Amino acid sequence: MKLRRPAGLTRMLAKLPLLCYRLGLGWLLGTRFVQIAHRGRKSGLIRWTVAEVLRYTAYSQEIIVVSGWSGKTDWYRNIQQEPALEIQIGRTAYRPVQQLLSPEETATEVLNAFKKHPQEARIIGPLLGIDITAAEPLLREQIATVLRGVRFCPMPNA
């Protein structure tokens, strides 16, 4: 099954968190969404993307997000070329250190999130082409094929 990017109303709804951040209301989204500032790999322009947070650790401000479409999203390709410039989550913003997760690490993080939020997993899994009822080895393989994980942490003071 070939997955298509959202279009129409679905795309518009997906853009609402970005609009909240642009209006200075990103704090209303709490720690559920993160805004990632990155440089366009072709244009060199600063771009902003809002992604759903897979895991947030408050005391360390560590954030884990995933990119769909096998890492072929623009923001993911951009941060592969040049690390993210800034992260904003809630009222907190910082210059990040980023780590691209291995397929195994990504699968573990996604499975943990699916276990923590089973109702969301039943909705999101099929949208991403992931059969959440599959046996764990197959599920891990599907996740590793479709998703790419990234860990962001604040840059240590120099």
CATH 2.30.110.10 assigned to domain 8-154? The reply is yes
pLDDT number for residue 10: 62
Write the pLDDT tens digit of every residue in 46-97.
999 999 999 999 999 999 999 998 999 999 999 999 999 999 999 999 999 9
The pair of structure tokens assigned to 36 is: 């990632």
In DSSP terms, 99 is beta-bridged to 151
pLDDT at 18: 84
How high is the mean pLDDT of the chain? 91
Q: Taking a C-beta distance cutoff of 8 angstroms, is the pair 95, 86 a contact? A: yes
User: What residue has token string 């410039």?
Assistant: 85
Q: Over pLDDT 90: what percentage of the chain?
A: 75
- pTM metric for this prediction: 0.87
Q: Note the pLDDT tens digit of each residue in 103-117.
A: 999 999 999 999 999
pLDDT exceeding 70 applies to what percent of the chain? Answer: 91
- Domain borders along the chain are 8-154
pLDDT for residue 5 is more than 70: no
CA–CA distance, 101 with 71 (Å, rounded to integer): 12
